[in-house]
Chain A
Amino acid sequence: MSIEINGTPHDRKPRPGQCLRTYLREEGCFGVKKGCDAGDCGACTVHVDGKPVHSCVYPAFRAQGRSVTTIEGLAGPDGPHPAQQCFLDAQGFQCGFCTAGMIMTAVALSAEQREDLPRSLKGNLCRCTGYRAITDAIEGRPAAVTPRVGSAVGSNLGAPAGPQVVTGTARYTFDLDVPGMLHLKALRSPHAHARILSIDATAALAVPGVEAVLTHKDAPERLFSTGQHENEAEDPYDTRVLDEVVRFVGQRVAAVVASSEAAAEEGVRRLHVEYEVLPAVFDPAQAMLPGAPLVHGDKGIAQGIVRADANVVGELHATLGDVGLGFAAADAVYEATFRTPRVQHASLETHGAVGWLDDDDRLVIRSSTQTPFLTRRALSRLFSINPDKVRVVAGRVGGGFGGKQEMLVEDLVALAVLRTGRPVKWEFTRSEQFTAATTRHPFTITVKAGATRDGTITALQLNALVDTGAYGNHGPSVMHHGCHETVAVYKCGNIRTDAYTVYTNTVPAGAFRGYGLGQVTFAVEQVLDELARMIDMDPVTFRELNVVRPGDDLTAPGAHVPDLGIASYGLDQCLARMRAAAATFDEAPPGWLVGQGMAIAMIAAGPPGGHFADATVTLLPDGRYELSVGTAEFGNGSTTVHAQIAADELHTTPDRILIRQSDTDVVRHDTGAFASTGVVVAGQAVLRACRALRAQLLALTGHTPSETYALRTLDPSSLGTVSASGHFDGTPRSVAFNAQFFRVAVDPATGELRILRSVHSADAGTVMNPLQLRGQIEGGVAQALGATLAEHVDISPAGEVTTTTFRQYHLPTVADIPPTEVHFATTTDTIGPLGAKSMSESPYNPVSPALGNALRDAIGIRLTDLPYTADRIWQALNP
């Protein structure tokens, strides 16, 4: 009995335990995505005999004799299905990994179900958008436009990949068929700290289909960091591809490479490993005590670890002015300690890579990465291969949020490819994302602040303890960043910072949207809120009296790269929005406690110490332009902005700009899509390349530089190949600002919290694409609301991650995210391309403290630990 897929019978019989999702992908339906593989996220939604199902939990054998429709079969002969068009018109996606499942669900909704989207879409998770754009798409509210010549920048241009995203034809990391491909599965440590005494692979190698077993004996001795930065010295070299010592539950012990996932898994089960279990430490404060187990006691300053004998990877102790004098001068002093938990990025596409050797014997790695070029550099060094013999490519990436500024799979895939000479794929399971990828760094932050009655902050004291887990990737940098803009936004002459980044035997933390700012802002903005209460001053006025103004230095304790300045200033406008929001009124249910609060955040537009981008633009024989950029697209929308910039500079329309990207073959170098640099760094390189090409073309055709209209009537055949490049080194840097307001209501009987109003104001400089910027902000607010109201990765007393599925780790659904009013400040930056600033991480940062302040206002108690779930709120009210 065959399975009919999109009208065509497929005769191949599914395997007995196979789910429909993998069967459909094996039959070429790559639009059917794996988000969770457990029935929770809806990315794999298809229709069986007309009924929507989650194909990852639908037994494939049962589809025999039935008819299956996937996203690929939705469009009719006359073009896209109306629902696909609606998602395109409303731009109801960012990374697009959930989109096929969203559309397949949307088309199956009854009229009654459409009336209650929060309920009807509870089985469809989107990590990027915050859902407003999705409900706009389903309810048919279009927003995208097709700009005319010269008006692309500032327009609501849709993402160039939109048509592929809504039809399921956008190609993500694993959406390709590689003949002869092997599958890799890892054996992971059951111990938080252990030495591997022996690994017996005999039984594993006897499993039919197993081609190789890789252990620490096969791995390079060389140490590296999974964290990727332009300046490699930012991260300690503490990691091996496979190590003889394992330092957290879930760390790779060995890899089995086999002709099928089934054989690889069976091989993993048959590995016999002897461990010498070592003492472990799970708490960062205990890890610093004398006599604590040492996580990297065999390493030291040479590997970039400042005090390996106390588990301290990095630390910062510095003072501006004299905090003692500052506190003595204060009329009010407030101090409190705050805690933020581990949070998972939960990008819907898991980590993973496919590697092979190409016809020139080059190692090719296709990976779900934000940093193709840095990953190539890391692989080249790790395996002593010339960089030109390594190519790293990213397809469309299914969400990043910092989690993919990390080399978590490529090293082991490369080792397997080099060992077997065969193509190898390694795709994380959703549970591996939780147990063996990275998390947001958990922080414990004590802030003490003083102010005089007239509203002047006299002193700020910051003590931060950062738990980096078993490896130090991003640990020191996150600490330094977290302790900078959070206090530099205030004019205060007396600031003291003491911060430590500490190893523990737990799942490693890594880069995460906000990069430390969100955690420290959570503490600083709440302490300042309390201080404003103590001096009986409105929190907006208190901010206005103390924030930096144009011309002010951006200073914080410690040595900081001096290229940061205020090249445009819209914080005053953001604060004015907060004042207006506070003057509104909302109805709450009778008996509920109502409160409101706000917080601000500042972020540097780009990382310190260099972030490089190259771009090349070439006139094609058909008159279109090919724009090559290194940076990856994972829903951040930088590709859209690059097309807008190029179109306007070259006096054409964005549909005539073909973009090649995220491939180490297309440009010389690009540091990567992180630190909110897609517009301000890569965009600057694009602008420079386009301006150079424009000048060349005008000169070649005998026009003056201002006669740009001539570009519309170019005859490419008379010009041959004309190409130009642009480069930007990421310095100097400006700052962007955000402010968030919430009004909340709390049911004292149950602890339930409802958001009555959410207002966000952002200073992003020139708004390159209002629709997209609004989407970035809504998505950032939503992701931060997840961390504020729901999410926490938990660790057992033995160090094991216990929240390993979306059923246990609640991601915000449509029902959990209120609408957020988004306002843009009117500013033009003197550094950023065409006056733009960065705005991808920063909307996240003021959300948690603003909600904490609103909750404090409502219930009269300041809750210092995230998340604010109903049970914790109720317990605070009923101690």
Chain B
Amino acid sequence: MDLHTVTEVISPASPGDWRPGDAWLGGGTALFGEPRPHVSRLLDLTAAGWAPLTVRDDGVEIAATCTIAELAEGLRGYGIVRQCCHAFLASFKIWNVATVGGNLCAALPAGPMISLTAALDGTCVLIGPNGGERRIPAAAFVTGEGATVLRDGEFLRAIHLSATALGTRTAYRRGSLHRHGRSAVLLIGRADPAGGMSLTVTAATRRPYVFRFPDPPSADEVEAALDTVPADQYVDDVHGRPVWRRHLTRHYAAQIRTELVA
């Protein structure tokens, strides 16, 4: 929709451009999807010309401005990437515009790029107003519904995924009230080559929860780990009741455990 209060677009934007009333602009599909009466300037990151995907020996760097379509194509060999792209409620047409970074920054529980990067132990690269860089685990980037660790004037530059994480075996489960509806529960398990596994809970909870099991966990150990999630951390909205999300989380976690390590 038209953002009528916007009077200027800074394109390309640079660190330090930000001032109150500004919004960093990725693809724009989230920003233009709701009224934003407090936004007066758009700071366009997509015009910076960052390479969408940079493959190195130690892994892949995904620019925040990498579109979902570019990710799905560039990393098409990885099943978990494809699964997480398909987890979008949004159409493949939105993939052509929406960005990986934008999905993280929107910080919705159902954001599948949050699921992907958290489950694969990604690292977020953040750039501050003075150009300084800090690194945050992707699993810690989102702190609550719509909330991230980003400070005023700071933007997400990239997410790094290690070659090791990308190469491990994963198990994926998604629950939704509707066949291709918004995710109500999205669990990803990752087999640790050394024998253990990690389990990432997203969509069901207000922020990602990652549980690490150095050794193959028993069913009870998985249950006990999930018990540490406070009941009020399960999302309560139109996309599914909390009690059901909590149940599905356990149900799918048990399936993932069986698939990966049992």
Q: Which residues of A contact B (CB under 8 A)?
A: 15-19, 22, 37-40, 42, 45, 48, 51-54, 56-59, 61-62, 105, 108, 113, 118-124, 260-262, 265-266, 269, 429, 431, 749-751, 790, 792, 794, 802-803, 805, 807-810, 813, 815-816, 869-872, 874-875, 878
The reply to whether A17 and B42 form a contact with Cβ atoms under 8 Å apart is yes
Q: Which residue of chain A lies nearest to B93 when distances are taken between CB atoms in the complex? A: A52
User: Nearest Cβ distance between residue A864 and chain B, in whole angstroms?
Assistant: 17
Q: Interface code B89-120, partner A: CB below 8 Å = 1, 0 otherwise?
A: 11111101100000000000000000000000
Question: Is the CB–CB distance between B241 and A54 below 8 Å?
Answer: no
Question: Are A54 and B91 in contact (CB-based, < 8 A)?
Answer: yes
| In contact, A16 and B93 (Cβ under 8 angstroms) | no
Q: Which residue of B lies closest to A49 (CB)?
A: B96
Complex Cα gap A19–B37 (Å): 15
13 residue pairs A–B, Cβ–Cβ below 8 Å: A15-B6, A16-B7, A16-B9, A17-B2, A53-B94, A54-B29, A54-B93, A61-B9, A123-B94, A809-B238, A810-B178, A870-B240, A874-B247
Shortest Cβ distance from residue B250 to the other chain A in the assembled complex, whole angstroms? 11
Inter-subunit contact A878/B179 (CB<8 Å): no
A57 contact set on B, CB distance < 8 A = 1, 28-30, 32-33, 94, 97
A51-B2 in contact (CB<8A): no
The interface of chain B, by Cβ under 8 A from chain A, is 1-9, 11, 25, 28-30, 32-35, 37, 39, 41-42, 44, 46, 69, 86, 89-94, 96-97, 175, 177-182, 184, 237-238, 240-241, 243-245, 247-248, 251
- Nearest CB in chain B: distance from A652 CB, A: 44
Q: Is B5 within 8 A of A17, CB to CB?
A: yes
Q: Which residues of A contact B91 (CB under 8 A)?
A: 42, 54, 105, 120-124
State which of B37, B97, B238 has its C-beta within 8 Å of the C-beta of A269.
Answer: B37
User: How many angstroms from the CA of A749 to the CA of B244 in the assembled complex?
Assistant: 10
Which of B7, B39, B90 counts the most chain A CB atoms within 10 A? B90
Cβ contacts under 8 Å, A809 to chain B: 238
A90 to chain B, nearest CB (A): 22
Please give the distance in Å from B247's CB to the nearest CB on chain A: 7
In the complex the two chains form, is B1's CB within 8 Å of A15's CB? no
A869: min CB distance to chain B, Å: 5
B28, B42, B243, most chain A CB atoms within 10 A: B28
Chain A residues with CB below 8 A from B240, complex form: 869-871
User: Least Cβ distance of A816 to chain B in Å?
Assistant: 6
Q: Which chain B residue has the least Cβ–Cβ distance from A46?
A: B93
Question: Quick check: A53 and B1 within 8 Å, CB to CB?
Answer: no
Q: How far is the CA of A82 from the CA of B171 in the complex (A)?
A: 42
A54-B94, A874-B244 are contacts. A815–B180 as well, Cβ < 8 Å?
A: yes
Counting chain A CB atoms within 10 Å of each CB, the highest count among B9, B39, B46, B243 belongs to B9
**Least CB distance, B76 to chain A, in whole angstroms:** 12
B181 contacts across to A, CB distance below 8 A:
810
Q: Contacts of A260 on B, CB cut-off 8 Å?
A: 4
* A39 in contact with B33 (CB, 8 Å): yes
Contact partner, A58, options B97, B178, B247, Cβ 8 Å? B97
B237 proximity list for chain A (CB < 8 A):
808
A54 to B90, CA, bound (A): 10
Name the 6 nearest CB pairs between A and B, nearest first.
A123-B91, A17-B6, A17-B3, A262-B4, A871-B244, A37-B1
A815 adjacent to B94 (CB under 8 Å): no
Residues from chain A with Cβ under 8 Å of B244 in the complex: 751, 870-871, 874-875
Given A119-B86, A123-B92, A807-B89, also A16-B177 (CB < 8 A): no
In the assembled complex, how far is the CB of residue B74 from the closest CB belonging to chain A, in whole angstroms?
16
A815 near B179: Cβ-Cβ < 8 Å: yes
Complex CA–CA separation, A203 to B79 (angstroms): 57
Given known pairs A59-B42, A261-B4, the reply for A119 and B25 (CB within 8 Å) is: no
Question: Which residues of the other chain, A, contact B3 by a CB distance below 8 angstroms?
Answer: 17-19
B261 → chain A closest CB, angstroms: 21
Of the candidates A17, A51, A122, A429, the one whose C-beta lies within 8 Å of that of B96 is A51
Knowing A815-B178, A871-B244, A874-B244 are in contact, say whether A808-B33 is a contact too (CB < 8 A). Answer: no
Instruction: Select one of B25, B96, B243 contacting A52, CB under 8 A.
Output: B96
How far is A39 from B33 in the complex, measured between Cα atoms in Å?
A: 6
Question: Do A816 and B178 touch across chains, with their CB atoms under 8 A apart?
Answer: yes
Please, how many angstroms separate the alpha-carbon atoms of A53 and B32 in the complex? Answer: 13
A48 CB contacts on chain B under 8 angstroms = 96
State which of A120, A261, A790, A802 has its C-beta within 8 Å of the C-beta of B177.
Answer: A790
* CA–CA, A749 and B175, complex, Å: 12
- Distance, CA A61 to CA B11, complexed state (A): 10
Determine the distance from Cα of A493 to Cα of B153 in the docked complex, in whole angstroms.
75
Nearest CB in chain A: distance from B204 CB, A: 12
Chain A residues with CB below 8 A from B39, complex form: 17
Partner of A790, one of B11, B42, B178, B243: B178
CB distance from A447 to the nearest CB of B (A): 27
Q: How far is the CA of A238 from the CA of B179 in the complex (A)?
A: 43
B28 to chain A: which residues have CB within 8 Å? 57-59, 62
Q: Are B251's CB and A750's CB within 8 A?
A: yes
A261 touches B97 (CB 8 A): no
Contact between A118 and B179, CB atoms less than 8 A apart: yes
Minimum CB–CB distance for A182 against chain B, Å: 15
Q: Which residue of the partner chain A has the closest CB to B240? A: A871
